[in-house]
């Protein structure tokens, strides 16, 4: 009878290593379903209780299974070995070995570690699980998976707080998002990732890089709003797409699943593109600037740009493969189209009284080229005075209804075609 009573106390204590709601803990007791061998022994002053072979016990709707379990009575330490699995209605915890300390109610899980709940799966080499707070601290090959949103967040170290839906991942951290067909990939790199509200918002800081096909973006701080499908870049944001470069005070990537459909730039917005490489010209760049710039993207390529507020463009006039001169246009709004990454047309969208156009043939454009060089430095593009033909760019690579505006643009484009 005493031995049976000791087994019962072991089961009761074991329950603290596995999260249950307060009501369940008070009303339900962990009961043994099966163990091939039950054994008690004493090693010096240390008392041990061992449960060996196909161990299974239940607590309400929860089930705990393992191959072996040992209680170290004097120290309040419990060790479970071999395919350890704890499953209840809220979450599941798996590992090759779990060591639990009664005094702190902390469990250390090792080997093939997985923590699974209704929205996320956390895997790692090791997890320290705080039972009362329902917080997991993971090290080694950390991966937090949101299967519903097709998002994986990996890194060297991580923490996951189930009650608040907060997570943090550091060390070689990368967020990967696939589209619904699981063919196209959005990648976000950074030193520190934080997840809020169970994945509704991500904050990425320090050395941030975004990669989606031919589009590449850099900044020091990024916010990803999942429901709105918006990625906001701040603190030195810049975007590259082959021969085109964009920057401004604030840059937002407007997404559809993992695809970039538009880029919204607010505050000192500027964009440049390299002229056709077959053209020989002292400053081989076209440039657009303004306070509000919407860049529309099709198949990972920039197809058009709408500039509003202090809209300005510098572009080379090319006819039959020959440069005719440099044009500067100012207006309330400008709409620019691109073909094969090269500016093809500029449309002024303002009254004649508020728009200005200046054309400078090759023999009379020195002053305008100096202006263009100065504007290009805002993109960290330096064009030397003697430069010809090719662009030697020194580039540092290190509440609006956006979806409606994208859809409207796509319909307009289809109509024009």
pLDDT in tens, the chain (417 residues): 444 434 444 444 444 344 454 444 444 555 778 899 988 888 878 888 888 999 987 877 878 899 999 888 888 888 999 999 988 888 899 999 998 887 888 889 999 999 999 889 999 999 999 988 899 999 999 999 999 899 999 999 999 999 999 999 999 999 999 887 767 789 999 999 999 999 999 999 999 999 998 899 999 999 999 989 999 999 999 999 888 899 999 999 999 888 899 999 999 999 988 888 778 888 889 899 999 999 999 888 888 999 998 899 998 888 877 888 898 988 889 998 888 767 778 888 877 666 788 888 888 888 888 888 888 888 888 776 654 444 444 344 334 444 444 455 555 555 554
pLDDT recorded at residue 386: 52
Could you give the CA distance from residue 356 to residue 348 in angstroms, rounded to a whole number?
9
Structure tokens of 120? 């996320």
| Span between the terminal Cα atoms of the chain, in Å | 87
User: Residues 339-346: contacts with CB within 8 Å, 24+ apart?
Assistant: 341/241, 341/242, 341/243, 341/244, 341/273, 341/274, 341/301, 341/302, 342/243, 342/273, 342/274, 342/275, 342/276, 343/273, 343/275, 343/286, 343/315, 343/316, 346/313, 346/315
The closest alpha carbon to 377, from 285, 263, 304, 294, belongs to: 285
Strand partners, 220: none
Q: Report the alpha-carbon angle 279-285-290, nearest 5.
A: 145
Beta carbons within 8 Å of 35's beta carbon, 6+ residues apart: 51, 52, 53, 54, 55, 56
Q: What is the pTM of this model?
A: 0.81
- Which sequence spans correspond to the domains of the chain? 237-417
Q: In the structure, how many helices (H) and strands (E) does the chain have?
A: 4, 24
Contact 403, 254 (CB under 8 A): yes
Residue 29: what pLDDT? 58
What is the spatial distance between Cα 68 and Cα 97, in angstroms, rounded to a whole number? 10
Q: Pairing mode, if any, of strands 46-59 and 121-130?
A: unpaired
Residue 316's CB is within 10 A of a number of other CB atoms, namely: 22
Q: Looking at domain 237-417, which CATH architecture does it have?
A: Sandwich (2.60)
The pLDDT of residue 91: 87
Q: Give CA–CA dist 56/34, Å, rounded.
A: 5
- How many Cα atoms within 13 Å fall on the side-chain side of residue 149? 23
* pLDDT at res. 28: 56
CB atoms within 10 A of CB 298: 14
Decide if 295 contacts 267 (C-beta within 8 A): no
Q: How high is the pLDDT of residue 217?
A: 95
- Location of structure tokens 């603190």: 235
Strands 285-298 and 322-339, bridge-based pairing = unpaired
């Amino acid at each position: 009878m005493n031995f049976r009573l000791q087994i019962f106390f072991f089961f009761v204590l074991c329950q603290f290593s596995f999260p249950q709601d307060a009501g369940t803990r008070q009303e339900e007791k962990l009961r043994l379903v099966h163990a091939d061998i039950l054994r008690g022994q004493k090693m010096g002053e240390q008392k041990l209780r061992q449960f060996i072979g196909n161990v299974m016990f239940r607590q309400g709707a929860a089930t705990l299974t393992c191959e072996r379990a040992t209680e170290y009575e004097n120290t309040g330490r419990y060790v479970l070995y071999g395919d350890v699995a704890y499953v209840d209605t809220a979450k599941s915890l798996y590992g090759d070995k779990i060591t639990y300390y009664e005094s702190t109610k902390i469990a250390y899980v090792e080997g093939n570690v997985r923590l699974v709940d209704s929205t996320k799966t956390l895997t790692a080499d090791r997890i320290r699980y705080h039972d009362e707070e329902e917080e997991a601290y993971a090290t080694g090959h950390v991966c937090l998976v949101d299967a519903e949103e097709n998002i994986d967040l990996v890194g060297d170290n991580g923490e996951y707080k189930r009650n608040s839906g907060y997570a943090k991942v550091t060390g070689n951290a990368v967020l990967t998002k696939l589209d619904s067909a699981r063919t196209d990939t959005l990648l976000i790199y950074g030193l520190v990732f934080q997840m809020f509200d169970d994945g509704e918002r991500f904050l990425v800081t320090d050395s941030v890089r975004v990669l989606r096909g031919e589009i590449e973006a850099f900044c020091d701080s990024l916010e990803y709003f999942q429901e709105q499908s918006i990625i906001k870049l701040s603190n030195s944001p810049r975007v590259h797409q082959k021969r085109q470069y964009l920057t401004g005070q604030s840059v937002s990537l407007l997404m559809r699943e993992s695809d970039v459909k538009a880029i919204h730039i607010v505050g000192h917005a500027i964009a440049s593109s390299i002229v056709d490489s077959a053209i020989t010209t002292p400053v081989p760049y076209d440039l657009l600037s303004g306070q509000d710039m919407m860049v529309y993207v099709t198949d990972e390529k920039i197809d058009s740009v709408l500039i509003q507020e202090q809209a300005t463009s510098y572009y080379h006039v090319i006819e039959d493969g020959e440069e005719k001169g440099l044009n500067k246009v100012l207006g309330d709004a400008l709409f620019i189209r691109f073909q094969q990454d090269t500016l093809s047309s500029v449309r002024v969208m303002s009254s004649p009284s508020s728009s200005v156009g200046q054309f400078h043939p090759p023999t009379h454009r020195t002053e305008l080229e100096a202006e263009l060089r100065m504007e290009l430095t805002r993109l960290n593009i330096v064009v030397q005075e003697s430069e010809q033909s090719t662009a030697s760019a020194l580039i540092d690579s290190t509440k609006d209804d956006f979806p409606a505006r994208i859809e409207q643009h796509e319909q307009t484009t289809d109509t024009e075609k």
